Structure 1
């Protein structure tokens, strides 16, 4: 199975191209949308080629998810900690966006390796912003910090008007995903995929992976959630995150994988659907070829290009041929 990359490939490529051509006064104005309805906008003017404005629009949060100033809790602190003096947060952001960052490309590290690592981190702004509240909870789990509100349900947005839920405790964090799909075929494939996903967790080589459960009904951890937030037609997936899953560099990977779990499932559902369509088309083509081979050489009203033509001879023609 394929894991989604934490950085936006188009954003990273644009940043790399801009850094390599800082001496050129090139105007840029790009907008694009990536999975889960995250919209980006890059703006560079010829008057100040060292400055790049990056605006990000996040998915519309549902009522149960808490946003402060248009951003998840802890997002501002996470941005400052990740980017330092290279990035400045503009307040207010550009119209239609939740966040606008002013990048001073002249302040990038001179070392090529460090510069590239920072650009990758900037291209991972979706992870930094949307994963900020989850990162805080998991860091407290790794540090064994008993934070206020332990056991209190927290709703985090991950798709437009949809959220997933985390229940922080001292020794573990339970993460619950209501899985929703608009298409009936996607729902059937996702349900089968998730059940197999849970079964695969029991393999011997995955003993250290987080425990995973699937159920068709809401688990007890989210029994107090409003009913409208639990409309899941593909069931509910629960992960139990333990301190060993967030040690050191595992923290970033765990935050990203949990933040994009629904997109991960959707990606593999679409791949499975496309694979089945390809197999069906190939099967139909092979059947058509078999039918073509089974056709007779001469059809009514038509002649095969390889067929021979015969002329019926009369008795007179036969005698003339024998005399000759």
Structure 2
């Protein structure tokens, strides 16, 4: 085998923290805020000055855990606090838009970080995008899988040309999410609340797709009514890249004495190489990647490693890009203008389910 003359790309699984000076007020005291957002902010040294939730006692308990100086009785009180520059929301998507609008109206609020999905449907997401632009405020959406270490390294490999032109990609999930109780009141489940991670990551890697075809069946474990349990989507991206996203939220029996094999794996094949990896969430281990390139590794498999995790370390990157956008006055990497394109992809998936056909993204006016 000939020796490659192309240097291996420098791989950076985690972000550099450029800015950490802008004061954060957190709305929500559930698991995602208490165990992920705030754990990440503590590791990064981001200043959290206030917290509020639907239940003040819960907010107070989380404040004591992280040394947050101010507990507000309601989210509205927190939004009105002039000490808060960035409002970080972890609330259900039917209630989130009203809080975003309150925050956009406050002169002291410079940015809002919202959860995904941004809203229950595309029309509401587009309205929020336009209202944020009219207010001259930063609105960012927490698509945190873009900051998973394996996905970041994969993006760097693609950008370096180590895999050549991408041909085929797949994200394959067989694991049971913790469905939050508020989801029982919606008619949309997996595509909007789990596939949104994977479809957004595919957009991050390959650009905006031209079409999506989505098929579903009910999940036998989920007892409340739902349209989309197990989900399989095929997508076509620029350069004729074909992609497959599988969200098997059944994953086999989950009961005492049954040894499951839950996982999330991904694979990308290109004209010059192949990369595959895992997302560490179901196992609690760091995500992983291995790749081989005929131009960068002489066809040998290389396995970079790191000690950080998707949860909570990816949330450092999410808030860091908001902090830096506030500092510089530029657009955040996870901008609402970009996120509405992921929302359109979700909407197209639901249209594909309903009409049993491939749906072109050009059918949606953005």
Same fold, judged at TM 0.5 (above): no
Provide the TM-score with structure 2 as the length reference.
0.21
* Structure showing greater Rg: 1
The structure that is helix-richer by fraction is 1
Provide the TM-score with structure 1 as the length reference.
0.23
